[in-house]
Chain A
Amino acid sequence: MFHWLEKNPFFFAVGVFLTIAFAGAVTILPNFAQSAQPIKGLKPYTVLQLAGRGVYIKDNCLSCHSQLIRPFKAETDRYGQYSLSGEYAYDRPFLWGSRRIGPDLHRVGNYRTPDWHANHMWEPTSVVPGSVMPAYKHQFTNIADVETAYAEAVTVKTAFNVPYGDDIKPGRAAFDAYYKAKVLPAALKIAKQMKNKDLIAQVQAGKIPEVVALVAYLDRLK
């Protein structure tokens, strides 16, 4: 049979494809619907938090931080309750990471405050002596891309039925209204908790620095 296959490339290719496609189908499909279920009471990310998630992805925090607490006592002692599948139901993409050069962040909102984050992102060694994390000072001047985050919320609401309210809808007018009514006030609240005058001034002027959005996201991780 193998000699014959080696002389008939088409059937050889079909044979290879079936052999490699098999495992994926068998392991991914059976639990797919179940794994997509959210836990009870899980709320989707707010637009500000989504923008912060965008900053987390842009500066690639996941190259050093995981968001997956494994079911071991040493991990639950250090980081809190182990992670559950349903907690990730609105995570597109998932951000589990693969290396902990820094600690896990899945429940960092439980034990770090916005002003701790503000100091830490400006100069990590000021709150963690010996830290090897770079300072992310550019996040204090770069403006967060809230519009893309809003577009993402509209997309997941429309395509995947993520339960956002009626005020999340397509179009620029809807975005502008939502930005003023919902996003800016939320950002101001976080900026005040971060106790940084410059950040507060920027938000009051209608601009949201990346770090404010990022901290809104980190504060939500609980």
Chain B
Amino acid sequence: MQSNAAMEYDYSIVKLYMWTTVIFGIVGMLIGVIIASQLAWPQLNYWLGEYGTFSRLRPIHTNVVVYGFMISGIFVGFYYSAQRVLKVSMGESKLLMTLGYLQFFLYLIAASGLVISEGMGITTSKEYAQMEWPLDILIVVIWVLWGVIMFGLIGMRREKALYISMWYYVATFLGVAMLYLFNNMEVPTQLLSGGLGAWYHSVSMYAGTNDAMVQWWWGHNAVAFVFTVPIIALIYYFLPKESGQAVYSYKLSLLSFWGLMFIYLWAGGHHLLWSTVPDWVQTMASIFSVILILPSWGSAINMLLTMKGEWNQLTDNPLIKFMVLASTFYMLSTLEGPIQAVKSVNAIAHFTDWIPGHVHDGVLGWVAFMVFATLMHSAPRVFKREIYSKSLLEAQFWIQTVAVVLYFTSMWIAGITQGMMWRAVDEYGNLMYSFIDTVNVLHPYWVIRAVGGTLYFIGLLMFAWNFFMTATAGRKLETEPQFRSPMA
């Protein structure tokens, strides 16, 4: 990994996605704070009529954060790093540039359409696949454009061998394409009914148990191919670049990549343990979820060992802090997930707050930290300016780390408490608690969670300010920094 000062890369699309990352991050996490507070204080449900209830806002929170904040961040990382590892500039092809702009504007339309339709209650109801068929078609177009750009760049590349990050980008493209297409097979209802009813409405091609199987094959692997695979692509590029260290082991990255590809897709059924899907599917899902620890920890350990001999950077470079803690949270949540996928543990954990707790230690600790590091490492190279404030970045790191810990510890306790209370029986074998008892006991944990979320959001605002000032008012740089990002 050498820097190539002679090459000039085109960052116009990177810049566009940087701003959507920040804006969608603020919107999505603000809604997250609101819905967390609604659980702790239910009277907060009534500030916007039917549009402000917890049930309407929750999917807007998940979708804006996943498809707004994260996907934008991933595209920042892709459009920035793919050019560099392939040694080819987007600017060399007018066609690719045009497609890039087109992809961005279609993405904006799709994202706004998603928020509006969710708010109006137009939804297929499937988690992370709530979009109705017109938006589905738009998303397929966006995704295909991304694929064309990716393979266009690969076709023009000067570096023959694909770097590890490219493996993961290719896998993201293919995985999401396959899963998304199959999960969103639906029949528009106007088609066969002689034009009756709402034009945007459709019914799923699958029913009941099959629908659940396909949905969680997608739902779990949206986690795989949006929260994990492309984020690994980011860390394989940005950690070595920021630290100036070579990736610790090529063989380990090979094992982790192909292992992850093969094993991840089996694990979807662990969302349906003890349900009506066939027992053997549940057992397979459970077993493969545990095996999944191997490739996940493979990547994480490979990243941590990349820092071997250079741990001093952890003390004085906040970007290294973000990335090392991200790998650590990746290890935590890929150990926690398999534990929850063990059938006996799942019997208690499923349907409780432990599940959103698990999701959030992954996304807040791993995904979002990597997105912050990606934006901040790229900013000095893209805007040719120094990072505005190191101390702000340090403060953000500590506030958000405390926030994540508050979040997941309170959710662990809440989840296990509720799971145990649901099954508690008295000396005669009767259920001990009515359902509402098991809800009211969660109040203190929901307050702590809301506080954690608020702290994280404050950290995000600090980041947004820092990023905005870097882009507009940071000290000008004469030459591109080779490794460590300069910061004031």
Contact = CB atoms under 8 A, between A and B. Distances in A.
Nearest to B273: A70
Given A12-B167, A151-B197, A93 B204 contact: yes
Contacts of A204: none
A88 B174 contact: no
Nearest to B123: A57
B123 A60 contact: yes
Contacts of A72: 274, 347, 423
Nearest to B353: A99
B263 to A, nearest CB: 8
B126 A93 contact: yes
Contacts of A59: 50, 53, 55-56, 121
Contacts of B211: 88, 91-94
Contacts of A92: 203-204, 206-208, 211
Contacts of B269: 27
A167 interface: no
Given A77-B431, A85-B209, A91-B207, A63 B59 contact: yes
Contacts of B217: 24, 27-28
B209 A155 contact: no
Contact of A159 (B55, B56, B123, B192): B192
A134 B167 CA distance: 46
Given A35-B277, A151-B190, A170-B194, A19 B439 contact: no
Nearest to A3: B161
Given A92-B204, A95-B125, A102-B435, A170 B196 contact: yes
- Interface bracket on B: 35 or more
A200 interface: no
A27 B284 contact: yes
B5 interface: no
A98 B127 contact: yes
A156 to B, nearest CB: 6
Given A60-B59, A70-B274, A134 B45 contact: yes
B322 interface: no
Given A61-B55, A74-B422, A148-B197, A100 B352 contact: yes
Contact of B351 (A9, A99, A147): A99
A174 to B, nearest CB: 8
Contact of B265 (A7, A23, A142): A23
Interface in B271-310: 271-272, 274-278, 281, 284-285, 288
15 contacts: A23-B266, A28-B210, A58-B122, A59-B121, A63-B55, A63-B58, A64-B54, A91-B207, A91-B208, A92-B211, A96-B275, A132-B39, A150-B197, A152-B201, A159-B203
Given A13-B174, A19-B258, A134-B45, 6 more contacts: A23-B266, A58-B121, A83-B275, A134-B42, A136-B53, A172-B194
The 5 closest A-B pairs by CB, nearest first: A88-B208, A148-B197, A58-B121, A151-B197, A170-B194
